[in-house]
Copies of this chain bind each other. A is one copy, B any other.
Amino acid sequence: MKLGGSAITIKEKPFTPDIKAIKRLAEEIKHADVSPLILVHGGGSFGHPVAKKYRINEGYKDSSQVIGFSKTHQAMTVLNNLVVDSLINHDIPAVAVPPSSCMITKSGRIEGFEERPLIRMLEMGFLPVLYGDAVLDSDINFTILSGDQLVSSLAMNLDAERIIIGADVDGLYTADPKTDSSARHISHLTLTELKKLQNKVGETKVTDVTGGMPGKMRELIPAVEKGIRVIIVNAAKPNNIYKALKGEEVVGTIIERA
């Protein structure tokens, strides 16, 4: 499961967690009691401003970025700590797993990954908590690994049954519902439809409403091709994550191979 950064932080205010939302989501996860489960969260107002300032996603250009890498990772660690703390306070055996310490990318794509601790954690009933992170890269020295690439890659490598994406909207729309009154909610998509829709993104007919929907869709396609079902729900609305975890009916967008 991926929880978008906007679902757990106050987007407009740098370094401001949405403690109330984090607590509610921890309650929903505890209540759903689903295992094995991996949680990946985004950076929201923690990771993004620092990463952007030091242009970490562009790779190493000059030595002034080095401290920026440390600051980006540290900002994510602080947010992750709040999430894991809240989960443990709800009696969920959560364990932080920073991607920067167990993964390396090659030109931005996950190249190597020490998955043994993670697999053992899942077998033992732990809830590993990963996040979009600043990571080392064998080609460009470092970069940003998105939570979306991470959740899709983990789902494929660990043969997940499904991916739940907790966004701050009800899923995909034919246009931006915030600005276009003709926007229509998409409740179900096949892989073919998703690929068509992705092309439209370039034409701005489908607007990026979750702060990175074109990227999200691109990352999700390989997982969907492998037969993993994806459901995008609004994590800002109470009980949606609970329902999605339990497999109950919920407003959202389901993406399936066929």
Chain A interface (Cβ < 8 Å from any Cβ of B): 60, 63, 66-67, 69-71, 73-74, 77-78, 81, 84-85, 88, 91-98, 100-104, 112-114, 116-118, 120-121, 124-126, 135-136, 138, 141-142
- How many copies of the shown chain assemble into the complex? 2
Pairwise interchain contact A66-B126, C-beta atoms closer than 8 A = yes
* Beyond known contacts A112-B116, A121-B136: 13 more, CB 8 A cutoff: A63-B125, A66-B124, A69-B95, A70-B84, A71-B88, A73-B95, A73-B96, A96-B98, A101-B114, A101-B118, A104-B116, A120-B136, A124-B141
Highest count of chain B CB atoms <10 Å: which of A69, A77, A101: A101
A71 shortest CB reach to chain B, Å: 6
Pairwise interchain contact B117-A103, C-beta atoms closer than 8 A = yes
For A96, the chain B residues whose CB sits under 8 A away are: 73-74, 77, 98, 101
Q: With A102-B102, A117-B104, A136-B120 known to touch, is A84 a contact of B77 (CB < 8 Å)?
A: yes
Pairwise interchain contact A126-B81, C-beta atoms closer than 8 A = no
Report Cα–Cα, A43/B112, bound state, in Å.
Answer: 30
Report Cα–Cα, A141/B121, bound state, in Å.
Answer: 9
A170 shortest CB reach to chain B, Å: 33
Pairwise interchain contact B104-A120, C-beta atoms closer than 8 A = yes
Pairwise interchain contact A67-B93, C-beta atoms closer than 8 A = yes
Output the nearest chain B residue to A120 by Cβ-Cβ distance: B136
For A124, the chain B residues whose CB sits under 8 A away are: 60, 66, 136, 141-142
**Could you give 8 example pairs across A and B, Cβ below 8 Å?**
A60-B124, A66-B124, A70-B92, A74-B85, A77-B84, A116-B138, A117-B136, A121-B136
